[in-house]
Chains A and B, each alone.
Chain A
Amino acid sequence: MTSRIRSLAAAAAVGLLLTATAGCSTFSSSGRYKYQHAEGGQPSVSGTPTDGAKASAKPVLPYDIRPLLKPEKKYFGVSLPGFPASMQPLQTYASLVGKKPDMVETYAAWGDQFESQQVQDTWDYGAMSFIAWEPMKKSLADIAAGKDDAYIHQFAQSVAALNLPVAISFAHEMNGFWYPWGTKKATPQQFVSAWKHVHDVFAEEGATQVIWVWSPNVIGPMKSVRLKPFWPGDAYVDWIGVIGYYGLDGPHTYKTLYGPTMDEVRGFTKKPFIIAETASEGRTRKPADIDDLFQGTAKRSDVVGFIWFDYNKETDWRVDSSSAAAAEFRRQAAGKAYGVDVRKP
């Protein structure tokens, strides 16, 4: 009897030992990391594979920006001083115009980090970030040659990691001469090469959450500069972000201000437009300009919206530069055509 118990105890001990051995790690720390990353990294949802993997919540899928490319309503965007340092200007603007902006444009110098928190805050507010990325310190040729790839990769990784939609306009107003990447400092070929290179790095990093905005200035001031040479191709662009202001002089109707540019663009692409920067300088005419902007955008099905440049810079572009303008803006903004729910476009 005793011997049998002893045998059983020994067998049980061996079994326990073997089981314990089975549970022991056979990985190095790096191997364990890889294993865990591979095994437990992606959770499951109903209707998706769940077998043999750790049960957890919804999988984190890359944000599909396609519904945002041409939503039913028009984007009602703004660019404001004091933002993104504070959300207060945005809230003040919203109360002024009576509608929450659904797109907020900011400017990022070449070399700046991607402001994930700012984009997140904007998204939480209910708006999409629109970043005008300005290659002030690096030539387009160098960018195209990959000399700043580390920075671009890092930026793209941050975008992918945040996994929220963001519109990026790289080297806007490239057809003008006033910026370091303008016609005086770079050729259209260099611009296209740089654009494609930046785009490809983002694709390589899996930063598919970007809406690429090719943003020329309206052609009025530079009638001799053709746009097509600057065009990277439909595969590289989502929106044509036309920039044009209602000035005191020059064209100041939707048709005359944007029409020629849009017509020329339609010669090589059917991508939708967005008025990427606009405002009115006109003093007494400002309410009319505002009316023209809202109505013109609403009438064109290939224009997805506009972004109001609400700065007092060089001149007072702000909505509330006059009470009449503010009232008209408020009245127009109340229209059903404007205001995209970016979460459910």
Chain B
Amino acid sequence: MSDWRPPRSGAQEQRGRSQPSWAVNGPDDRPAPEPEPGYQAPQYAYEEAPPAYGYAETFTPPSPSYTDDPYGESAPGAGPSAGEEYPRAPYYDQAVSGAYGTHEQAAPVDTYALDEPDAGYAVYEAESVPPGYVLPDVPESAWSFDARRSVRLGRILLACLLLVQAVLSLRLRGTAFEDEALYIASGHYELANVLHGTPVPVDFGAYFSGYPKFYPVLAASVDSHFGLTGVRVVSLFFMLGTTGLLYAMTRRMFNVRAALGAAALFCGLQSTLYLGNFATYDAPALFLLALSAWLVVRTGRSNMAFVLLAAPPAALACGVKYAAALYMPTLVVLAVLTAYRHRGWRSLLRGVVLGAAIAALLGLGLKLAGSLGGISGTTTNRAHGTDSALRMLQDSANWGGLLFLAALGGSIAYGLRARMGEMPWIGNATPGPLRRVSLGVLLTGTALLAPAYQIHLGTEISLYKHVGFGLLFAAPMAGLGLARLVGPHFRNPQLGIILFVATLTFGMVQSHEEYSFPNSKPMVAYLRTVVNHKGIYLAEEQEVPAYYLRDVTGWNQWQTTFLMDYQAKDGKHYSGPAAFSAAVRDAHFDVIELHGGVTPDADQAVTDALKGNPHYRLTAVIPYTTSSGTSAFRIWVKQ
């Protein structure tokens, strides 16, 4: 044996020995799982002398004695003598006692106790001759336990995920989509109405799917200074906030590993990436739902009244986007299932309190806002379409199937077993089976709400966005499912990686596929040369030119191709496609712009009326390509 001793770190040299951080900072610094209501951690104290760890160099028992002497520098049997109370480690008391009970039951410790004389030789050797190899510090707990280090690491990884989400969202490029143009443009008029009392050109509340004085005003304010890009960046912040809140909520419900899994799977979804660069109600509504859900979970162990904090964001989410109301039942039931301090009817009461508060706020809001025809027109009583249920299910599965399956797996695994078993001694500090199963059913089932409702309506419009609302709620269970897939002690990391990469890949490709609308830049540039503040213009998706050309035209100068009533020069009254035909025959419009596909019936009527029409000249055909193929803006000008 040589005299060589292993080098020590500076900290070790200072302290003279390696100690876990909690041993230095005191027991209060150690995070510990919050116990189930009514759970009493058994008090543990050594009543007898603990075993001597002669082989401390080669064994790491779950005992503070080792960390007191990691290098075996103490003399054999240097632990407290019989009758002394062994230095207590609160963490050990709480965590270890659940599994090992009393000291007498600590079989592994006894295995290495040195009662034989030979053991003394070994210790003597260790003291006199430096060992050739010393095990590094072994963490007290597995990573599944949210020690401070793992929490910090989790936050770093979350930051990485948010970075990925931001990069993938910002990769999406395009000029304003119809909805974006509509909301921002209307926001400018609403803002002028709020600030200066300028009458709004139309009653936007009559057909908007959210309250026109909420998001549109915010969007217009940002647009005034930073343009469409700025408004989209606001959406990105909302979506990053949503992922962050999802992480916090899942960590609160489960652990860091599940939270990371939830954030990882959610941040790569098509809907998440899309909405992160899309200036519509959806991102803020989703953020507010996430905020409300997080508050519900966060106040689960607090006084029941604290759940009221979740009501304003929930109600606001409904105001921002009416369809968010679909998720109010989920929030209410979540309030019941996360009422950790209560059982039975008192936990139900928590849900009732939240539900009543949300209802009261919504009622108040509705009274203040007055008539909002848009609620029925766009949400509750939307016109039924003819899109097939199978198609919608297929698309929903494409967009969120992986996360949903992970959530399903997580729910089943969670229902069967509360923990993976890495730290069985804290196995009791979990909700009971009924609550676990209910939570899984609630969160995973919420993912089906949007597809189910749209199948009921028979329309797939905006489903690619709406599917993300339900997936937000299913994501915690998916995160848990991913954690279970990886297994205890990271037994199968490759499975988790496969799931994450597959979700990310699907999300990247699908978001590009969906985030593909006509590049209106040249079309608007051309229209700018032929419009003024007097003309009447017919445009398919008229919101786009109306938004970009609002400096030279008014909102009401633009006629949509969706619907029209027209009093023709022949004195007859027309509506629908016939109105467009008659108006074109009468040369009612100064400029006509069509690009096909959005309103095929009206397009056909207008095109037919233009054929051989001496009043109009086709002056520009501007091709564009989207993921649906190649088409063109066609612009006719009255001559």
Contacts and interface: CB of A to CB of B under 8 A. Distances in A.
B47 to A, nearest CB: 35
Interface stretch (B60-68, B289-297, B442-450, B622-630): B622-630
A38 B548 contact: no
B167 A26 contact: no
B508 A26 contact: yes
B137 A52 contact: no
A45 interface: yes
A160 B551 CA distance: 31
A35 interface: yes
Given A39-B519, A49-B524, A51-B175, A234 B614 contact: yes
Interface in B583-639: 611-614, 616-627, 632, 634, 637, 639
A66 B153 contact: no
B620 A61 contact: yes
A124 to B, nearest CB: 23
Interface string B496-536: 00000100110011001000100111101110111000000
B253 interface: no
A49 B228 contact: yes
Contacts of A234: 614
B619 A62 contact: yes
Contact of B548 (A37, A42, A49, A235): A49
A57 B160 CA distance: 35
B360 interface: no
B490 to A, nearest CB: 12
Given A41-B519, A62-B621, A15 B525 contact: no
Given A38-B625, A235-B613, A26 B620 contact: no
A264 interface: no
Contacts of A47: 525, 528, 551
Contacts of B164: 15, 18-19, 21-22
Interface in A8-55: 8, 11, 14-15, 18-19, 21-23, 26-27, 34-35, 37-39, 41-45, 47-54
Interface string B471-497: 000000000000000000000000000
A61 B622 contact: yes
B620 A52 contact: no
Interface string B162-186: 0110011001111110000000000
Contacts, number: 160
A-side interface size class:
35 or more
Contacts of B639: 66
Nearest to A233: B612
Contacts of A205: 621
A65 B620 CA distance: 10
Given A54-B173, A60-B522, A22 B508 contact: yes
Contacts of B522: 42, 48, 59-61
Contact of A53 (B153, B163, B173, B626): B173
A49 B153 contact: no
Nearest to A8: B156
B159 interface: yes
B167 A64 contact: no
Contacts of B149: 4, 7
A243 to B, nearest CB: 24
B620 A51 contact: no
A15 B157 CA distance: 7
Interface centre among A15, A38, A51, by most chain B C-beta atoms within 10 angstroms, is: A51
B599 to A, nearest CB: 20
A11 B228 contact: no
B626 A206 contact: no
Interface in A223-272: 233-236
A143 B622 CA distance: 27
Contacts of A160: 621
B521 A59 contact: yes
Nearest to B545: A49
Contact of B627 (A34, A45, A61): A34
B9 interface: yes
Nearest to B223: A51
B19 interface: no
Interface in A159-212: 160, 203, 205-208
A26 B521 contact: no
B521 A42 contact: yes
A2 interface: yes
B232 A51 contact: yes
A1 interface: yes
A42 B523 CA distance: 10
Contacts of B626: 38
A66 B637 contact: yes
A3 interface: yes
Given A39-B519, A61-B620, A1 B9 contact: yes
Given A3-B137, A27-B512, A206 B621 contact: yes
Interface string B276-314: 010000000000000000000000000000000000000
Contacts of B509: 26-27
Contacts of A236: 612
Given A26-B505, A208-B618, A62 B163 contact: no
Contacts of B620: 61-62, 64, 206, 208
Nearest to A18: B164
Contacts of B611: 235
Nearest to B617: A66
B176 A51 contact: yes
A203 B619 CA distance: 9
Contacts of B157: 11, 14-15
Nearest to B509: A26
A235 B612 contact: yes
A1 B522 CA distance: 58
B519 A38 contact: yes
Contacts of A23: 167
Nearest to A44: B521
A122 to B, nearest CB: 22
A24 to B, nearest CB: 8
Interface in B144-159: 149, 153, 156-157, 159
B101 interface: no
Interface centre among B520, B522, B529, B620, by most chain A C-beta atoms within 10 angstroms, is: B522
Contacts of B11: 1
A65 B621 CA distance: 13
Closest 9 CB pairs of A and B: A206-B621, A15-B160, A234-B614, A51-B228, A48-B525, A62-B620, A49-B175, A38-B625, A11-B156
Given A22-B508, A27-B512, A208-B618, 4 more contacts: A8-B156, A39-B174, A52-B172, A235-B613
14 contacts: A7-B153, A19-B164, A19-B167, A21-B504, A26-B508, A27-B509, A35-B512, A39-B173, A41-B519, A48-B522, A48-B525, A52-B172, A52-B232, A62-B526
Interface of A: 1-4, 7-8, 11, 14-15, 18-19, 21-23, 26-27, 34-35, 37-39, 41-45, 47-54, 59-62, 64-66, 160, 203, 205-208, 233-236
